[in-house]
Structure 1
């Protein structure tokens, strides 16, 4: 069974960044790198425009405000993580339990390539005020991931798919934080080992 990254049913809607001009794409790419590497509040529109090679007017013409650019950054990262994860899991042939565990190898690759400073959505939630629309994007991302894990658990006829999904999500979050802070060696692999025990118990109970 192939599970799509698109939102359906109880899953929240994900809005993409559409119809960007080449200048807009450059601004978004630059802002995404700076926001993630340096922090959202530490980076001003002047620095983004300068490094993107555009004027501040062009930046505002494309995105309206820094706040809207933050939202665009988080939506773009959300879309990239979803497509990366789903492609990785769908490429895993085998029983559902192995597909659930494949989310950890996807996380391992993601952290090595794009996530060295930890989860961008958690980082953003710490920086942004409660009423910022970027926090909604971050919450939606976690809601989607939990639903995706639950679908994988249901595919394997888990005894309590919602509970298994919640447990696996917590392991993902902990591994991402511990791995990025280097507080635990081989954090993702160790989280996967714990998940394997939970999956085996749930799918064979």
Structure 2
């Protein structure tokens, strides 16, 4: 196994465990055992748990935002509705546990600068996408759409299923029709 394969195994295992159980509940030994990567190599690739958490969130951000952008592009007739339809599908996945970025921040707070940076970049990237959909000079609408996305995600984390996304979509459509 080369370092790239080891890194992939470590990130796959970390993502599954961190998202399902929480970052603090999962030790590096469980990551090692689940990935099959020797401890020495694990710490050579990720010298500290924070480095692993940061890499997990960066990889998740890339995949999450790519998928959302593809959904928005596919739903070009109504891209804002496409955002909430995508969320409804995500909220309905059997392993849905809310926003990995808010979960990480909730667990670790601002004490872990690398993690906080990834969380902030993710939210800024999401807001930028929503700003593009809102249109030029509509910063207020972009902020409101972000609140709807984040609020729906938090509500769905407590009671998984598509309903929070549907309600947020309806609210977004009302916002858009009022502008």
The two structures have a TM-score, normalised by structure 1, of 0.81
Q: Which has the higher helix share?
A: 2
Correspondent of 1:173 among 120, 140, 150: 150
Alignment of 1:104-115 (within 5 A): 104-113=84-93
- More displaced stretch, 105-114 vs 62-71: 105-114
| Superimposed CA distance per residue, residues 140-164 of structure 1 (whole angstroms, 9 cap, x where no aligned partner) | 111111111111111xx6xx51111
User: What residue in structure 2 maps to residue 13 of structure 1?
Assistant: none
Q: 1:147 maps to what in 2?
A: 128
Partner-residue secondary structure (3-state), 1:197: helix
- Mind listing any 5+ residue stretches in structure 2 that lack a counterpart? none
Describe how 1:116-195 pairs up with structure 2 within 5 A.
116-132=96-112, 133-154=114-135, 161-182=138-159, 186-195=163-172
SS at match of 2:92: helix
Q: Deviations over 1:27-52 (max 9, x none)?
A: 11000110111100111000010011
**Pair 65,24 (structure 1): closer, same or farther in 2 beyond 3 Å:** same
Segments of structure 1 that go 5 or more residues without pairing to the other structure are 1-18
**Paired residue total:** 177
Aligned to 2:48: 65
Kept in 1, the 8 Å contact 2:18–2:26? The answer is: yes
RMSD (Å) for aligned C-alpha atoms: 2.0
